[in-house]
């Protein structure tokens, strides 16, 4: 059964068309997208005749050894990396999904969440469909197989018209790569190209959630897959189809706030510029007299650079992050206060002692990390700690593919800003305004964003959750 907590997953996707070592490019692409999901990863390949796949739990670099990659050679590949809250069945839900269907071989990898998967699945099950796991992506595979349309792109369009929500998809048949995006363009999906080497005629066409994947494999960014578009890349070349009429664009603003890498271009905008502008805007909206601006690494770094530049207060790395923290650590039996956070972050006493500190982070979710970090900065001798958050209070869960806890665990949904300040133990606390956030991320013109996590106004119906939860538990 799908349950509401299965909706929360974060993913990255990549696809390679026509390269003698497509599996290796997919592997490198996934490596660059590792921040989008660290639980499982997989690659499916085709050499034109045979499809192969390997997926497992863990990090990309650990799963894909030289030996594993040598077993899945191909000229076409798609890859997926995933973090999900799904428990035991996590490997079963890992992607890509590879099936043999009446439309031939289909492999699919999905970033985003459908909001009507339960309802569609119930309909399909009543017609006799059998599901292997509980990911919403499997619903799309069934709809493609059941479509009466003759060609694969038409069947995909038919399937995608029946689902609602967020989906950036890469798919592979034996000889084609197909990329598609939902009509509102919630999650990013970029297309790039590696020019054919001398003597060869065909360029390699690539797709990825973020352009930082292109940088690693030497591809140049060409354009985004547009909301409502299906791009088919095959032996005949590249073609574009629109399966859906235009809907208002609702690209996820949290990609710019936190989720994407700052070296990526997402929704045709450099994440770095958005994030630095978030910090500048925050300094204009919520100034404070202080001696140093300190980021919570890594999520607060770029906004802190902006805050420091705008305010004229010096930027300092007052917290140092240990990048080599795995999933579990053995804790001494006499437990250490804030052990989890201390494993990851340590304050620099010589920088903080006696100082009035502006502490910058991108968001407060449950508030537990912020509380520990503020305590840590104080214990390193800071005189004052002023917390500044580079987005508005997070008051509503995301149903479109960003992992967020339920509303009753979101501190800002349940406490006032003053109560949060008191809870985290800061001398002052301020968040960026919604209008400041949108301005910093370049809203206007072609771009409009989904900011449901800050407003509770969802651009779609949330059909599945409405069906799972009793009315009293909604919103
Ligand atoms: P919390 O202790 O729950 O308030 O956690 C806040 C921290 O979680 C901040 O440093 C954020 O950068 C980070 N964060 C925010 N959203 C997410 C997310 N969807 N997944 C993982 N980390 C997040």
Task: Read off the pLDDT of residues 263-276 as tens digits, 9 standing for 90 and up.
Answer: 999 999 999 999 99
**DSSP-derived pairing of the beta strands 345-347 and 319-321:** antiparallel
Q: Six-digit token pair at 323?
A: 């990048």
For domain 265-323+337-448, the CATH class is alpha beta
User: Around Cβ 149, how many Cβ atoms within 10 Å?
Assistant: 14
Q: Take atom 9 of ligand 1 and give the residue whose Cα is closest.
A: 363
Are 401 and 6 contacting, i.e. CB atoms less than 8 angstroms apart?
Answer: no
Over its C-alpha atoms, the chain yields an Rg (Å, rounded) of 23
* Alpha-carbon dihedral angle through residues 92, 93, 94, 99, given to the nearest 10 degrees: 80
How many other C-beta atoms can be found within 10 angstroms of the C-beta atom of residue 45?
Answer: 27
State whether the beta carbon of 402 lies less than 6 angstroms from ligand 1.
Answer: yes
**Rounded to an integer, what distance in angstroms lies between the CA atom of residue 53 and that of residue 105?**
12
For residue 56, give both structure tokens: 């497992």
Strand partners, 108: 97, 171
Cβ atoms within 10 Å of 445's Cβ, excluding its own? 6
CB-ligand 1 contact for 365 (6 Å cutoff):
yes
**Residues ≥6 apart with Cβ < 8 Å to 6:** 84, 85, 86, 93, 134, 135, 136
Atom 13, ligand 1: residue with shortest CA distance:
363
CA gap 12, 133 in Å, rounded: 20
pLDDT of residue 8: 52
Distance 438 CA to ligand 1 centre (A): 20
Q: What span, in angstroms and rounded, lies between the C-alpha atoms of 269 and 247?
A: 20
Domain ranges for the chain: 11-250, 265-323+337-448
> pLDDT tens digits for the chain (475 residues)?
333 334 456 899 999 999 999 999 999 999 999 999 999 999 999 999 999 999 999 999 999 999 999 999 999 999 999 987 544 457 888 999 999 999 999 999 999 999 999 999 999 999 999 998 888 999 999 999 999 998 999 999 999 999 999 999 999 999 999 999 999 999 999 999 999 988 788 999 999 999 999 999 999 999 999 999 999 999 999 999 999 987 899 999 999 999 999 999 999 999 999 999 999 999 999 999 999 999 999 989 999 999 999 999 999 999 999 988 766 677 788 888 888 888 999 999 999 999 999 999 999 999 999 999 999 999 999 999 999 999 999 999 999 999 888 999 999 999 999 999 999 999 999 999 999 999 999 998 888 999 999 999 999 998 887 665 444 444 3
- The total of other beta-carbon atoms located within 10 Å of residue 256's CB is 29
Structure confidence at residue 134 (pLDDT): 82
Neighbours of 284 (CB within 10 A): 13
Which of 7, 85, 365, when mutated, tests ligand 1's pocket best, judged by the most ligand atoms within 8 Å of its CB?
A: 365
Distance from the CA of 306 to the center of ligand 1, in angstroms? 20
* Number of neighbours of residue 384 by Cβ within 10 angstroms: 17
Residue to probe by mutation, ligand 1, list 9, 338, 363, most atoms within 8 Å of CB = 363
Bridge partners, 220 (sequence order): 193
Helices 368-379, 417-424: axis angle to 10 degrees equals: 50
Kindly give the number of the ligand 1 atom that is closest to the alpha carbon of 372: 2
- Cα of 126 from ligand 1 centre, angstroms: 39
Residue nearest atom 2 of ligand 1, based on CA coordinates: 369
**Which residue from 283, 285, 303 is spatially nearest to 295, judged by alpha carbons?**
303
Question: Does residue 372 contact residue 425 with C-beta atoms inside 8 Å?
Answer: no
Sequence-distant (≥ 6) Cβ neighbours of residue 7 within 8 angstroms: 113, 136, 399, 464, 465
pLDDT tens per residue, range 428-446: 999 999 999 999 999 988 8
Take residue 9 and report the two structure tokens written for it.
């997953």
Helix 271-285 / helix 301-311 crossing angle, nearest 10 deg: 50
DSSP 145-181: HH---SSHHHHHHHHHTT--B--EEEEE-SS-EEEEE
The whole-angstrom separation of Cα 145 and Cα 101 is 6
Q: Find out whether the beta carbon of 361 lies less than 6 Å from any atom of ligand 1.
A: yes
**393 in ligand 1 pocket by Cβ < 6 Å?**
no
Residue 398 near residue 453 (C-beta atoms within 8 A): yes
Let me know if domain 11-250 sits in CATH 3.60.20.10: yes
Closest by Cα among 364, 385, 337, 348 to 454:
364
Active site (annotated) includes residue 398 = no
CB 223 within 8 A of CB 243: no
Q: How far apart are CA 160 and CA 379, in angstroms?
A: 54
Secondary structure element (H or E) that encloses residue 308, with its range: helix 301-311
- 264 with 34: CB under 8 angstroms? no
Sign (positive/negative) of CA torsion 430, 431, 432, 434? negative
Name the token pair of 274.
């958005």
Tell me the angle at which helices 152-160 and 137-146 cross, rounded to the nearest 10 degrees: 130
Q: What is the 65 CA–ligand 1 centroid distance (Å)?
A: 31
């Amino acid at each position: 059964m799908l349950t509401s907590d299965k909706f929360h997953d974060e993913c990255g996707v990549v696809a390679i068309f026509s390269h003698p070592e497509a599996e290796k490019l997919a592997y490198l692409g996934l490596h660059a997208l590792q921040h989008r999901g660290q639980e499982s990863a997989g690659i499916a390949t085709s050499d034109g005749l045979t499809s192969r796949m390997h997926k497992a739990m863990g990090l990309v670099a650990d799963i894909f050894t030289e030996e594993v990659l040598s077993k899945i050679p191909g000229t076409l590949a798609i890859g997926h990396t995933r973090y999900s809250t799904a428990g035991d069945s996590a490997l079963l839900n890992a992607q890509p999904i590879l099936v043999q269907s009446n439309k031939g071989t289909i492999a699919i990898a999905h970033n985003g969440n459908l909001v009507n998967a339960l309802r569609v699945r119930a309909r399909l099950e009543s017609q006799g469909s059998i599901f292997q796991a509980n990911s919403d992506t499997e619903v799309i595979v069934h709809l493609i197989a059941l479509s009466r349309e003759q060609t694969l792109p038409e069947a995909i369009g038919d399937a995608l018209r029946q689902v609602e929500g967020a989906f950036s998809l890469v798919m592979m048949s034996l000889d084609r790569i197909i990329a598609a995006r939902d009509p509102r363009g919630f999650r990013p999906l970029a297309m790039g190209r590696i020019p054919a080497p001398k003597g060869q005629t065909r360029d390699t066409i690539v797709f990825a959630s973020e352009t930082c994947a292109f940088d690693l494999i030497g591809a140049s960014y060409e354009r985004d897959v547009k909301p409502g578009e299906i791009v088919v890349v095959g032996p005949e070349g590249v073609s574009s189809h629109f399966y859906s009429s235009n809907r208002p664009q609702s690209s996820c603003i949290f990609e710019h706030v936190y989720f994407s890498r700052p070296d990526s271009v997402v929704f045709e905008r450099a994440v770095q510029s958005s994030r630095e502008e978030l910090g500048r805007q925050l300094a204009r909206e919520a100034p404070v007299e202080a001696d140093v601006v300190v980021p919570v690494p890594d999520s607060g770094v770029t906004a802190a650079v902006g805050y420091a530049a705008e305010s004229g207060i010096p930027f300092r790395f007052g917290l140092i992050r240990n990048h080599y923290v795995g999933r579990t650590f053995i804790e001494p039996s006499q437990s250490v206060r804030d052990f989890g956070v201390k494993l990851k972050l340590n304050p620099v006493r010589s920088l903080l002692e006696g100082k009035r500190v502006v502490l910058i982070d991108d968001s407060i979710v449950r508030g537990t990390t912020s509380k520990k970090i503020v305590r840590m900065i104080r214990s390193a001798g800071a005189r004052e700690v002023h917390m500044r958050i580079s987005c508005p209070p997070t008051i509503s869960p995301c149903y479109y593919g960003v992992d967020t806890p339920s509303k009753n665990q979101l501190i800002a949904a349940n406490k006032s800003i003053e109560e949060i300040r008191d809870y985290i133990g800061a001398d002052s606390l301020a968040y960026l305004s919604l209008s400041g956030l949108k301005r910093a991320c370049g809203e206007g013109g072609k771009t409009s964003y989904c900011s449901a996590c800050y407003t509770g106004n969802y651009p779609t119906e949330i059909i599945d959750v409405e069906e799972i939860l009793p009315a009293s538990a909604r919103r």
